[in-house]
């Protein structure tokens, strides 16, 4: 059986739609999945219009532009209230106290950044002992879980790189943990493999800041605290 390029593209989009629909059922709170599917559908519709109608399809955008301007002009100009000749005296009222805005996070699904409060021990373990412990952990990840892992540790820095398979395809994860005083700064980079069917949706979801209340963010913090032996609740997303 042979498929044309159009047929392969149609099958791929159908699979993406099925995967996205299932993902929404599993995790309905992750709105970026729905927006990602809507974006794919909108781009596909525009591409199909240009492919079928050619340059004539651009007339659709002109029509939408005229309708939008007409709606804006009618609502904001023609129906604008006429100001009175003598404005009534208005006694200003004190503005209500504003609640502090939530800080904007730099972390995304593709790159999670954390800061952990971890006072340095008076007698930290030797570098040789830390290297041996890391080698033991890497050996477990390779032989038990089948990960492809490599890593290194220095006096104030730890690096770890792992490639593993998930239900949707391969993933690559790189860790960098660096101690400065009583704080440990952690950067975790997640990258989907070319065979991962959720690659496009993952990329679209990574455009928005990560919500610290999402399960993905909570699970990542727990893994970091366990791996770095930090007291639970002492790591926060940046």
Together in a domain, 46 and 140: no
Q: What is the pTM of this model?
A: 0.58
Last residue of a domain, one of 78, 99, 128: 78
Domain for residue 33, yes or no? yes
User: Which residues span the domain enclosing 51?
Assistant: 5-78
| Residue 212 confidence class, pLDDT cut points 50, 70, 90 | confident
Domain for residue 92, yes or no? no
* pLDDT the model gives residue 174: 96
Together in a domain, 233 and 115: yes
Together in a domain, 117 and 207: yes
Together in a domain, 117 and 226: yes
Alpha-carbon distance 157 to 155, whole Å?
6
Over residues 103-126, mean pLDDT: 86
pLDDT digits (tens, 9 = 90+) for 166-209: 888 899 999 999 999 999 999 999 999 889 888 887 787 778 88
46 has a pLDDT exceeding 60: yes
Together in a domain, 67 and 121: no
Residue among 207, 197, 204 nearest 16 (CA)? 197
Alpha-carbon distance 196 to 171, whole Å?
8
Tally of domains in the chain: 2
Domain for residue 231, yes or no? yes
* pLDDT the model gives residue 216: 87
Together in a domain, 126 and 225: yes
Considering only 4-18, 89-103, 213-227, which range has the smallest mean pLDDT?
A: 89-103
* pLDDT the model gives residue 126: 92
The share of the chain scoring above pLDDT 90, in percent, equals: 35
Domain for residue 84, yes or no? no
Alpha-carbon distance 219 to 63, whole Å?
48
Interhelix angle for 31-53 vs 5-26, to 10°? 160
Output Rg (C-alpha) for the chain, integer angstroms: 26
Torsion of CA 132, 138, 144, 149, to 10 degrees: -160
Domain for residue 131, yes or no? yes
């Amino acid at each position: 059986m042979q498929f044309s390029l159009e047929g392969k593209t149609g099958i791929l989009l159908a699979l993406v739609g099925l995967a996205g629909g299932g993902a929404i059922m599993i995790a309905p709170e992750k709105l970026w999945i729905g927006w990602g599917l809507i974006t794919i559908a909108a781009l596909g519709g525009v591409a199909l219009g240009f492919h079928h109608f050619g340059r004539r399809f651009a007339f659709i955008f002109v029509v939408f532009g005229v309708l939008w301007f007409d709606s804006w002009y009618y609502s904001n100009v023609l129906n604008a209230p006429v100001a009175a000749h003598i404005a009534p005296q208005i006694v200003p009222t004190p503005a209500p106290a504003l609640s502090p805005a939530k800080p904007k996070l730099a972390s995304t699904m593709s790159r999670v950044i954390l800061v952990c409060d971890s006072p340095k021990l008076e007698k930290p373990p030797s570098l040789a002992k830390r290297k041996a412990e890391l080698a033991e952990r890497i050996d477990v990840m390779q032989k038990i879980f089948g990960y492809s892992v490599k890593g290194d540790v220095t006096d104030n820095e730890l690096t770890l790189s792992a490639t593993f398979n998930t239900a949707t395809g391969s993933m690559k994860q790189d860790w960098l943990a660096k101690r400065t005083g009583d704080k440990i700064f952690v950067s975790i980079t997640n990258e989907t493999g070319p065979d991962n069917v959720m690659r496009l949706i993952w990329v679209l979801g990574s455009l928005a800041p990560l919500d610290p209340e999402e399960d993905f963010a909570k699970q990542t913090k727990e893994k970091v605290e366990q791996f770095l032996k930090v007291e639970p609740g002492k790591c926060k997303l940046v």
